[in-house]
Amino acid sequence: MIAISFIIPCFNKSREISRAIESVVCYCNCSSEVLVIDDASTDESCKEIMKCQERFPLLRVVKSNKNRGISRIRNLGIRLSQGEFLYFLDGDDAIVPGFPQELALLLTRHTLDLLSVQGRWRNSKKIRPRSIDGFLDCLELIEDGLYSVNNVVKFLETSMALGGSQLLARKSWIGRSRFAINECAFEDFGFYFKLLRADVRWLYLQRVGVVFDDQPFSASLSRSSLRWDKLKRPAAMNCCPSIKIEEHLCGVWVYNCLMRLPPRKGLLFLWKYRGDFRKGLRTRYGVPGIALWGLRLIGIRS
């Protein structure tokens, strides 16, 4: 029986996809599967994937005949996967060496529906797990470095403030839940929010398990260029478990959109989403975001 399915969607990631695949395959055994789905890439991604398949025959490769977007490809991965648990890895991210083996061992010792692990940005100097002192009251120690989440909302609020994380989910727990289609951001958060039912058995591993690409929204925005008039408010921001989480997502979304849009188009974006901008100002992204955008607007920062 396959314990874990690692699902890796790929669109125009020719420089990074080999690294992502190797980071998983090199540490997997016969109880895991690695499923790579190419979303009709127009660069050399497909060639790189096939090279990896020649080196690793157990690698499963699926090619889409047209570009479908990150959410549809992940949903396809859910349908095609054979594992009891699913782990989604973007094509430009990488698993920390030895982590797949650690996950497999953990699943043999504990019963769970969801497992959160810490992630870090590729160029971040903080390679150690973040301190959990700020939210010990929502966790219960099981063993060294492993905790049970007993307050889901507070855990989400605090873990978002600390930085990125990754989620391992039991396929039967996912059920009919799927990633929202045609989202420009936070399609993963919207998916995870659907899984937070009252009886969830959620564990937290204080361990850096994945290294993120340094370009936020790099997977979500791969389908089309970013245009202010085509943007729409991410659905995940409409179903947040708390106001604090909504404010955090608003801050991240507004900040990253302002950094990607041409400076003067940012004015139109800010006016259209001024409510989200006001909410985002209350987070750590608000003031730095508007300051950097202002510098770009007057031509000081290119």
Structural domain for 75, as ranges: 4-212
pLDDT at residue 137, as a whole number: 78
pLDDT at residue 2, as a whole number: 81
Rg (CA), the chain: 19
Looking at residue 235, the DSSP 8-state letter turns out to be G
Does residue 220 sit within a domain? no
Token pair listed for 277 = 């901008």
Q: Is the pLDDT of residue 124 over 70?
A: no
Q: For 2-36, how does the pLDDT look when each residue is reduced to its tens digit (9 = 90+)?
A: 899 999 999 999 999 999 999 999 888 777 999 99
Same structural domain for residues 52 and 100?
Answer: yes
Q: Total domain count for the chain?
A: 2
Does residue 229 sit within a domain? no
pLDDT, mean of residues 218-230? 52
Q: Is the pLDDT of residue 229 over 70?
A: no
The Cα 290–Cα 1 span in angstroms is 51
Same structural domain for residues 178 and 114?
Answer: yes
Residues 185, 188, 194, 195: what is their CA dihedral angle, to the nearest 10 degrees? -160
Last residue of a domain, one of 195, 212, 229: 212
- For the chain, the average pLDDT equals 83
Does residue 233 sit within a domain? no
Same structural domain for residues 249 and 114?
Answer: no
Give the contacts of 165 (CB within 8 A, at least 6 positions apart). Answer: 116, 117, 118, 119, 159
Q: For 42-77, how does the pLDDT look when each residue is reduced to its tens digit (9 = 90+)?
A: 999 999 999 999 999 889 999 999 999 889 999 999
H helix or E strand, kind and range, residue 131: none
Which of 149, 171, 24 is closest to 89 using CA atoms? Answer: 24
Phi, psi for residue 71 in degrees, rounded to 5: -70, -45
pLDDT, mean of residues 201-219? 78
Last residue of a domain, one of 212, 229, 260: 212
Q: Is the pLDDT of residue 221 over 50?
A: no
Same structural domain for residues 175 and 283?
Answer: no
Last residue of a domain, one of 212, 229, 261: 212
Q: Is the pLDDT of residue 217 over 60?
A: no
Strands 85-88, 4-10: pairing is parallel
Q: For 162-202, how does the pLDDT look when each residue is reduced to its tens digit (9 = 90+)?
A: 555 688 999 999 998 999 887 777 888 889 888 988 789 99
Same structural domain for residues 41 and 176?
Answer: yes
